């Protein structure tokens, strides 16, 4: 750019100088010719206005540069002669003036023109050198400024501007250099922070584009995080993760696993498309075991436990500590990998942001579950029954169905502890819990009510007699079960009280009490039996009902 400007200035000055020189030479040549013509005209006027023509001719002959003068025929002056000029006197005569030498006029003319050309050439050279000396430092600044801006456009702020000027321009340049240095420092700070948040983000070579893209992704991730923080459970969060993978990243083949660390149990949360990875035990998963990404594109068959020929995959673990670990397995064709490889870092960032929240939700749910379950038998506890019983009762009345309520108690349980120890008592309760769970449907609830007492809630009962049949089945099965503790085998029996809601009462907790009255009757009449509530039992008891 600088060369073009200097060349342009040089051409302008040179062309201007040439035009000026040519015009000056032309004008001088014209003036010289006019001067000779005026001299001839003056001689003619002297002759014409003189009274004595001969005396005038003698006077003119004595003038400088006049060699001869005579009156001639006009026809004789048609042929131009060197140093001779003819001035018309009338139609027939001319005044023929012969100058001593017109060549002197011509030489003088050319001498002046030559001097003018030389002066103009010197002026052109001097002007160009002067302008070059004055303008070049500023052109250098503009050129460097353009280079600096060109680099800065792509995020390179390393180009500084230098100058030897000591005027106000130097202050402006120093201020600009400080400005881009500060921008470069800020960009490095942003990039370092982005590397922490998105460690493996792809780099295009254009810092501004990369920072803009990563900042946009971080904004989306931050909004995503705020949304899932307000979700009530892990299922809702999984649905949002699935939506991100499907709709934002357009993944066609992926699978989400949840590993319950304490239980060493792995569950498939969601699967889309084809998937060559099938994990049954956490320890079989390399991503889970190493707590790091597994990428078959970097090393084929990197996971020796699970791989398929011709299958390319990436496994990304998230939330690798605490009670929960999530694993996303993604399968790619080679063509899909070219499209999605630069997005994996962003997928990881989404998962990492979701990880702590999923962990917290899962832990909270686990704590709640532990608070609602009996640790020894794995059954729901009384607190859980208190939370759901009213809801179940309302649903039963709304659907016009029946609830069967079984109150179960182990016969002579204290003797087991006294005779065989508390380990034997625990074994009896666990075996009874197992028997009850195996004897009812998944929609029914088995609750440890306290000590050796249990409650079973049978939902959507159509046949009242079926309630008693279930109770009898549990009683008989448990009575025939042999329980081995410390090399010793024992059998135990249970007593069961039955009530039906809302047939016996429209108050659900009163129905629980009625089942308890029936259980009391079974105990008092020999144990190892099932007793169904009746009005006679209520009349025989001192129970006055819920107030």
Q: Which of 242, 244, 250 is nearest to 224 (CA)?
A: 244
In the chain, % helix, strand, coil (3-state, to 5) comes to 55, 20, 25
DSSP 8-state assignment for residue 304: S
Q: What are phi and psi of 378, to 5 degrees?
A: 80, 5
What stretch of H or E contains 287?
Answer: helix 286-290
Report d(CA 472, CA 406) in Å as an integer: 11
> Under 8 Å CB-to-CB from 172, ≥6 apart: which residues?
none
Q: Tell me if 284 sits within 8 A of 311, measured CB to CB.
A: no
Catalytic position from the list 452, 453, 476, 521: 452
Q: Which of 226, 11, 231, 48 is nearest to 127 (CA)?
A: 11
Residue 416, burial from CB neighbour count under 10 angstroms (0-12, 13-18, 19+): buried
Question: Which residues are bridge partners to 327 per DSSP?
Answer: 257, 317
What stretch of H or E contains 458?
Answer: strand 453-461
DSSP-derived 3-state class of residue 331:
strand
DSSP 8-state assignment for residue 281: S
The 10 Å Cβ neighbour count of residue 516 is: 21
Tokens in use for 514?
Answer: 């009625």
DSSP-derived 3-state class of residue 82:
coil
452 is catalytic: yes
Q: Tell me if 518 sits within 8 A of 537, measured CB to CB.
A: yes
What stretch of H or E contains 269?
Answer: strand 265-272
Report d(CA 361, CA 225) in Å as an integer: 13
C-alpha 538: how far from chain center: 70
The catalytic residues are 452
């Amino acid at each position: 750019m600088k060369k073009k400007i200097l060349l342009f200035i040089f051409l302008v000055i040179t062309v201007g100088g040439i035009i000026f020189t040519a015009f000056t030479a032309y004008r001088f040549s014209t003036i010289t010719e006019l001067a000779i013509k005026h001299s001839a005209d003056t001689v003619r006027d002297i002759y014409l206005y003189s009274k004595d023509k001969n005396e005038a001719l003698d006077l003119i002959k004595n003038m400088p540069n006049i060699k001869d003068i005579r009156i001639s025929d006009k026809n004789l002056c048609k042929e131009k002669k060197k140093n001779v000029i003819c001035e018309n006197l009338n139609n027939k005569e001319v005044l023929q003036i012969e100058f001593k030498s017109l060549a002197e006029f011509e030489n003088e003319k050319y001498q002046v023109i030559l001097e003018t050309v030389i002066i103009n050439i010197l002026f052109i050279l001097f002007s160009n050198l002067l302008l070059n000396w004055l303008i070049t430092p500023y052109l250098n600044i503009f050129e460097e400024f353009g280079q600096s801006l060109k680099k800065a456009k792509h995020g390179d702020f390393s180009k500084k501007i230098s100058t030897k000027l000591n005027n106000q321009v130097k202050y402006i340049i120093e201020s600009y250099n400080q400005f881009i240095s500060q921008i470069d420092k800020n960009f490095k700070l942003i990039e370092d922070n982005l590397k922490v948040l998105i460690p493996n983000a792809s780099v295009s070579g254009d810092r501004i584009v990369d920072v803009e893209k990563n900042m946009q992704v971080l904004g989306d991730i931050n909004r995503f995080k705020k949304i899932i923080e307000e979700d009530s459970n892990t299922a809702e969060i999984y649905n949002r993760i699935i939506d991100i993978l499907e709709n934002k990243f357009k993944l066609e083949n992926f699978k989400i696993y949840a590993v319950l660390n304490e239980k060493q149990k792995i569950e498939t949360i969601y699967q889309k498309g084809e998937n060559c990875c099938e994990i049954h035990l956490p320890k079989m998963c390399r991503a889970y075991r190493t707590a790091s990404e597994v990428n078959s594109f970097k090393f084929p068959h990197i996971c020796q436990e699970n791989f398929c020929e011709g299958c390319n995959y990436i496994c990304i673990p998230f939330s690798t500590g605490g009670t929960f670990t999530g694993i996303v397995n993604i399968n790619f064709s080679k063509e899909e990998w070219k499209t999605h490889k630069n997005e994996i870092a962003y997928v990881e960032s989404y998962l990492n942001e979701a990880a702590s929240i999923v962990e917290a939700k899962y832990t909270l749910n686990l704590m709640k579950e532990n608070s609602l379950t009996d640790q020894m038998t794995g059954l729901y506890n009384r607190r859980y029954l208190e939370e759901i019983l009213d809801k179940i009762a309302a649903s039963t009345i709304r659907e016009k169905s029946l609830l069967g309520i079984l109150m179960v108690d182990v016969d002579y349980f204290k003797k087991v502890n006294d005779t065989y120890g508390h380990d034997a008592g625990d074994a009896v309760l666990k075996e009874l819990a197992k028997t009850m769970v195996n004897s009812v449907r998944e929609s029914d609830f088995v609750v440890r009510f306290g000590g050796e007492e249990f409650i079973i809630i049978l939902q959507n009962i159509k046949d009242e007699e079926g309630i008693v049949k279930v109770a009898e089945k549990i009683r008989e099965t448990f009575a025939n079960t042999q329980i081995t503790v410390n090399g010793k085998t024992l059998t135990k029996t249970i007593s069961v009280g039955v009530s039906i809601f809302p047939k016996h009462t429209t108050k659900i907790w009163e129905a629980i009490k009625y089942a308890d009255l029936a259980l009391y009757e079974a105990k008092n009449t020999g144990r190892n039996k099932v007793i169904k509530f009746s009005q006679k039992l209520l009349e025989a008891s001192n129970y006055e009902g819920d107030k």
